[in-house]
Amino acid sequence: MPMNVKPIPALDERINDIRLRTAGIVNEWILPNEDRLWRYDRDSGEARTEAHDLRQQIKAVVQKENLWAPHLPEEYGGMGLDFLAHAYMNEVLAYAMGAASLFGVVAPNSGNQKILLKYGTEEQKRKWLLPLVDGTMESGFSMTEPDAAGSDPRSLQTTATHDGDHWVINGHKWFTSNGIDADFFIVMCRAVDDTGELGRTGDMVQIIVPSDTPGVNVVRGIGVWGRPHSDHCEIVYDDVRVPIENALGKVGQGHQAAQDRLGAGRVFHCMNSIGQMWRAFDLMVERATSRQVHGGLLKDKQFIQGFIAESYIDIQAARLMTIHTAERVDQGDPGARTDISAIKIFVPEAYSRVVDRAIQVWGAAGVSNDLPLGAMYQGARTLRIADGPDEVHKILIAKNVLKRYEAGESWDFGN
């Protein structure tokens, strides 16, 4: 079923135009080809080549329509959108499974592009950012380690030792997404600099590591959700030598760069989830209005009406929270940090609930590979861990709220 997108009267013409043109591509090119397109990840041989060619064709259509890389400034080949416009666009494009990659805004590349933009030198931008934007390079972000808590990045153990004109990296990472295809990794390390020339020993630094550097050992694509392999990779960095100028920003900026990288991305991830919720919702209603059980249509049973109503409430609540957060980020409001954590918790939970109900309404078909609901269910659950688990965000919200009260203020409603 094509998605139904009409202009929203409260929005300006520019955002409505972006939404409608995005919907046009999703309806015409992506939804009818969804199954063929995702063979790129699942199959090998001819089906994979065919999927690859179709993906390239769609990317060319997106670029011609000037809908490529909404998160990047125009001088770097993007659309230069503010958060609000980008959020509204993502809601529409994410109706189709995995469509973000066809619009040039897919993790981990999009997050890496953002930190290269903010912290990269002109030379780093030329060498790494531009090919990443035009799609001739792929990248990974290597922070999480099996032997240290990913939810507490300050505990990471990978070292980058200053040795003359080089950094020498040693460490063990895992869940580095896109690790199979990546041409380079941005690796989060702890600096060891006995000379003190580059910074303090123990401080965090992010370093660009080409994936073909000797000592970069991609051990495996970790199996997830019952699948034997994925592109979330375990990687051992064993005496990996890269030039000093591969540091991204200064020693000591690594932790902040990781926060910058994830912070913005969370708003777009949430809007992606909302696009997926609309899809699950449409599927649920489609089945409820056509399936006969016990002498009547599902839609006439009150249990099912409850599913529909609760899902509508979940989507609207998640959507309005996320739009509000995008507006605050655009205004440069420091309070937006609390709201980013709030949506990072609420939206994946709401997404899980909506998909769970859609699966229930479809019965056995709901868990089959004939529908995208199973993949959505896994995606929603995973989002509660990736980019910082729920508990860490709850701690941050409580800390920000309590800080105000401890300073003798109460919470400013509406802000």
**Least spacing, CB of residue 414 vs ligand FAD, in Å:** 29
**Under the criterion CB under 6 A, does residue 24 sit at the interface with ligand FAD?**
no
**Under the criterion CB under 6 A, does residue 143 sit at the interface with ligand FAD?**
yes
First to last CA, the chain: 39
**Under the criterion CB under 6 A, does residue 391 sit at the interface with ligand FAD?**
yes
**Under the criterion CB under 6 A, does residue 185 sit at the interface with ligand FAD?**
no
Helix (H) or strand (E) holding 166: strand 166-176
Tell me how far apart the alpha carbons of residues 20 and 16 are, in angstroms, rounded to a whole number: 6
Stretch that binds ligand FAD, among 35-43, 170-178, 195-203, 303-311 (CB under 6 A): 170-178
**Under the criterion CB under 6 A, does residue 60 sit at the interface with ligand FAD?**
no
| From candidates 176, 206, 272, 338, binder to ligand FAD by CB under 6 A | 176
Tell me how far apart the alpha carbons of residues 234 and 112 are, in angstroms, rounded to a whole number: 19
Stretch that binds ligand FAD, among 46-54, 70-78, 136-144, 344-352 (CB under 6 A): 136-144
For ligand FAD, which is the closer residue by CB, 126 or 154? Answer: 154
Stretch that binds ligand FAD, among 9-17, 119-127, 354-362, 385-393 (CB under 6 A): 385-393
Amino acid at 176: T
For ligand FAD, which is the closer residue by CB, 297 or 375? Answer: 375
Say which residue the tokens 């998909």 belong to.
Answer: 355
**Under the criterion CB under 6 A, does residue 150 sit at the interface with ligand FAD?**
yes
Stretch that binds ligand FAD, among 38-46, 138-146, 193-201, 306-314 (CB under 6 A): 138-146
Tell me how far apart the alpha carbons of residues 345 and 323 are, in angstroms, rounded to a whole number: 15
Beta strands in 11-101 (DSSP E): none
User: Residue 121 has what DSSP assignment?
Assistant: -
C-alpha 45 chain-centroid distance: 28
| From candidates 109, 112, 177, 338, binder to ligand FAD by CB under 6 A | 177
Residue 5 contacts residue 23 (beta carbons within 8 Å): yes
**Under the criterion CB under 6 A, does residue 111 sit at the interface with ligand FAD?**
no
80: nearest Cα among 41, 35, 133, 39: 133
Residue 243 sits at φ, ψ, to 5 deg, of -60, 150
Residues numbered 198-257 forming contacts with ligand FAD, rule: CB under 6 A:
232
Query: What 3-state DSSP class applies to 188?
Result: strand
Where does this chain bind ligand FAD (CB under 6 A)?
Answer: 108, 141-144, 149-151, 175-177, 232, 382, 385-386, 388-389, 391-392, 395
